Structure 1
Amino acid sequence: MTGHVLSGVRLWDGRTDRGLVDLTVSGGLVTEVVPAAGPDSGLSVIPGLVDTHVHLIGFAGGRDRVKGFDTFTWPLVTEREEQSLHGAANAQRAMRAGVTSLRDLGADETQAAVARVFDLGVMDGPRLHNSGPVGMTAGHLDLFTPRAVKDRPPTADSPDECRALVRRWARTGMTGIKIYTSGGVLSMGDKVGWRNHTRGEIAATVDEAHALGMTVACHTHSAEGIDIALEEGVDSIEHGTGLTPEQAVVLAERGIPVAPTLLINDMIARADVPVSDEAQEIAAELMVHRDKALADAASAGVDFVLGTDANGYFLEFGDQWLELRRMAEVLGWSAERTLQAGTSRAAAALRSDVGVLEPGRPADLVVMRGRPWEDVAAMDRHAVTAVICRGRVVAGGLL
């Protein structure tokens, strides 16, 4: 690890504006933050963004190059060894745009291997928090694979099978589990209102995950699904489209974070990229009441955090800045509250010590033009001039 001194930068530390400072990085940590001794460099420093909901294994060449390989077809015609390289490339692309921590909410041994390579410093890469999925046969996860395909992701169809699958993911070194309490939008033949797993299966999954020190993130689009998630003690809500005012009060009281994944549902409802008529119809129906429900929940104090559902086909890695801007618009938040959702609050949702820049904390930071905590329009990947991740310069250059 080499040391770096960023002189005369305006620091927003993940919570508040610290003014003009000289910031020192050494040994992978922020080691000193003192009032600037020299002139203003004209640049700002913020913590690296934290995206709590992504899917790394997707085509990494960009939306304009998918060449007909939609989000269902590409995994079926691409060997897993090749997919792992796309996953690493997607993670690095996010990192270079200033997203220095990512949680994959559909991970298996492949993403776990990519994370280890990054953690060992064999390749530069962001911090990966991997969560393994525990879904049922004919559930939301299973219905992403066409019914005629025999080589499918694992499912679990009893409390004991759910516990066994949690243990498999724990063995890989994952830090979390993803469950489902409703159907979804893109899964084939799915219905949002479908129950996914029995209460006994969900209870067993949550119990086993918590016994092994793993967080539980819950995919749900329905009010009934949110009720189940709250009753079973999950640690975060993913999407939360059918959120009710009564549920918002409970979420706020318990401090349970919600990743609203706004842009992907916007894109599906508009068919910005090719989707089935069924998926477009489901997304459009969910959108009817979504924005007001989420804005009311934000006013009630629900802790919304950055989560994009990026996989390269809908949202590309680096579009996290656009998601933050959409969150500010829908939730009615100030620029500073929005940026907290993408840094300190998102990091807290992952139980990570990143997201705040102060001595002793990890040196994951973004150098950029403008002051994004004051102006939502400044939340722009093109304003990024340099990125430090794990104490190393991984994009751009430092003055």
Structure 2
Amino acid sequence: MAVLRVRGFGLPEGEPVDLYADGDRWTTDPVPGAELVAEGWLLPGLVDAHTHPGAEKPGQPLDDTVLREDLRAHVHSGVTLIRAPGLAGDPPEWFGHADDSPRAVHAGPWLAQQGQFMAGWGRRPGLTDLPAVAAEQASRTGWAKIIIDWKPDDDVVPVDVLREAVTRVHAAGGRLAVHSQQAAGGTVAVEAGVDSIEHGMGLSPELLPRMAERGIALTPTLAAITGGLAEINADPERARKSWYVPGASAHAGLTAAAVEAGVTVLAGTDTRPHGGIAQEIRALVAAGVSPHEALAAASWTARSYLGLPGLLDGAPADAVVFDADPRTDLGRLDKPLAVIVRGRRVR
């Protein structure tokens, strides 16, 4: 396999870089005969930290063909790493390792309470068993995901149960993500010390400093939530009755406040079609997040949070290259010059 070379200005610092793909790792040592595949502004790949590939509709089983197509859409958009906090089933062994797909971490099937979440998806252990089941899942994949709240009148997972789940997941060497879209769920999640809150709609801004202090990340899935809000608001009668409207209306401001408070904010799409990470980055900027911080949420900050370094000697050979600084022109995100994963050019 030919050795690939990329050079230009590497973000986040914007300093000159010249990298060679030594197998699956970058090296700064020149390799004679290396193929210069792109020159411009380099990121260590984009990251979609909240995506559920592999099923076309809620409740459907994981489909290998759909999974491959979804992952190709991600990598075509410049995404070289995904986190799937919930899948329609246990993924095949090639997931996260195939040459034409992003690296991946995942939480396996969702864990939810009886009568909550999407019918046909996830596991529903009793509250007594929930911490042990979450720990077992995290021991296999590194992550577990619990739906701690669902509709406004549903019971929230009790804080003592969730705190025990956090303790046992951490003891197993894993991390715990939670779905929360109600204020009560956000309060419980922060009190229990989970690792990441997914969506976080309705989260009290007063909790943001504590999240920052405890290292609790927020994945706001902002474009998906505001898109749902627009759909509901198109019908005034529906909007008047919908529990969704207050939280979704405040979500952009909450997201910007989280960044300001020092919370680790991760970019995630949560929607089909896959490959829409640029839309999420633009939604973050529209909410008041700086382009630099929005791009960080979808690149170097997210990679670091998920355990991968950036454009460094010895780092995984992932990169996306643009012909200009995408922080000054977000439209560039739709037109990468090259996408490299595992030292191979995939676009």
Residue 51 of structure 1 pairs with residue 48 of structure 2? yes
Asked if structure 2 preserves the Cα contact closer than 8 Å seen for 1:306 and 1:341, the reply is yes
3-state DSSP of counterpart to 2:279: helix
Question: In the alignment, residue 343 of structure 1 is paired with which amino acid?
Answer: S
Counterpart selection for 1:239 from 199, 210, 213: 199
Counterpart selection for 1:360 from 314, 330, 341: 314
* 1:158-197 equivalent positions in 2, closer than 5 A: 158-164=127-133, 166-167=135-136, 169-170=137-138, 173-183=140-150, 191-192=151-152, 194-197=154-157
Partners in 2 of 1:286 and 1:232 — Cα distance?
A: 22
TM-score by length of 1: 0.76
Question: In the alignment, residue 22 of structure 2 is paired with which amino acid?
Answer: S
Per the alignment, residue 322 of structure 1 pairs with 279
Q: CA deviation at 1:338?
A: 1.5
Partners in 2 of 1:217 and 1:164 — Cα distance?
A: 14
CA separation of 1:239 and 1:12: change in aligned 2, threshold 3 A: same
Residue 30 of structure 1 pairs with residue 18 of structure 2? no
Aligned positions, number? 337
Counterpart selection for 2:229 from 266, 269, 285: 269
Q: CA deviation at 1:222?
A: 2.6
Residue 338 of structure 1 pairs with residue 314 of structure 2? no
Question: In the alignment, residue 295 of structure 2 is paired with which amino acid?
Answer: L
3-state DSSP of counterpart to 1:177: strand
Per the alignment, residue 371 of structure 1 pairs with 325
Q: CA deviation at 1:193?
A: 5.2
Per the alignment, residue 37 of structure 1 pairs with none
Asked if structure 2 preserves the Cα contact closer than 8 Å seen for 1:265 and 1:283, the reply is no
Asked if structure 2 preserves the Cα contact closer than 8 Å seen for 1:269 and 1:284, the reply is yes
Asked if structure 2 preserves the Cα contact closer than 8 Å seen for 1:166 and 1:208, the reply is yes
3-state DSSP of counterpart to 2:141: coil
* 1:190-339 equivalent positions in 2, closer than 5 A: 191-192=151-152, 194-271=154-231, 281-310=242-271, 312=272, 316-330=273-287, 332-339=288-295
3-state DSSP of counterpart to 2:242: helix
Per the alignment, residue 63 of structure 1 pairs with none
Residue 128 of structure 1 pairs with residue 104 of structure 2? yes
Q: CA deviation at 1:349?
A: 2.5
Question: In the alignment, residue 353 of structure 1 is paired with which amino acid?
Answer: L
Partners in 2 of 1:248 and 1:10 — Cα distance?
A: 37
Per the alignment, residue 187 of structure 1 pairs with none
Q: CA deviation at 1:107?
A: 2.4
Partners in 1 of 2:79 and 2:250 — Cα distance?
A: 30
Asked if structure 1 preserves the Cα contact closer than 8 Å seen for 2:54 and 2:66, the reply is yes
Partners in 2 of 1:279 and 1:52 — Cα distance?
A: 32
Question: In the alignment, residue 95 of structure 1 is paired with which amino acid?
Answer: V
Q: CA deviation at 1:221?
A: 2.0
Per the alignment, residue 34 of structure 2 pairs with none
TM-score by length of 2: 0.87
Partners in 1 of 2:88 and 2:315 — Cα distance?
A: 29
Q: CA deviation at 1:51?
A: 1.2
Q: CA deviation at 1:390?
A: 1.0
CA separation of 1:279 and 1:233: change in aligned 2, threshold 3 A: farther
Residue 10 of structure 1 pairs with residue 8 of structure 2? yes
3-state DSSP of counterpart to 1:103: strand
Q: CA deviation at 1:387?
A: 0.8
Q: CA deviation at 1:278?
A: 8.8
Q: CA deviation at 1:326?
A: 0.8
Q: CA deviation at 1:287?
A: 2.2
Counterpart selection for 2:303 from 347, 367, 391: 347
Per the alignment, residue 90 of structure 1 pairs with 70
Per the alignment, residue 38 of structure 1 pairs with none
Q: CA deviation at 1:214?
A: 1.2
Task: Output one character per residue of 1:130-164: Cα deviation in whole Å (capped at 9) or x when no partner.
Answer: 1132211012x2xx11xxxxx66321113225413
Asked if structure 1 preserves the Cα contact closer than 8 Å seen for 2:195 and 2:215, the reply is no
Question: In the alignment, residue 21 of structure 2 is paired with which amino acid?
Answer: V
Asked if structure 2 preserves the Cα contact closer than 8 Å seen for 1:193 and 1:222, the reply is no
Unpaired stretches in structure 1, ≥5 consecutive residues:
35-40, 60-70, 146-150, 184-190
CA separation of 1:304 and 1:87: change in aligned 2, threshold 3 A: same
3-state DSSP of counterpart to 1:359: coil
Question: In the alignment, residue 295 of structure 1 is paired with which amino acid?
Answer: A
Q: CA deviation at 1:195?
A: 2.6
Q: CA deviation at 1:170?
A: 4.3
Q: CA deviation at 1:88?
A: 2.0
Q: Kindly, what percent of the aligned residue pairs are identical?
A: 27
Unpaired stretches in structure 2, ≥5 consecutive residues:
31-37
Partners in 2 of 1:256 and 1:33 — Cα distance?
A: 38
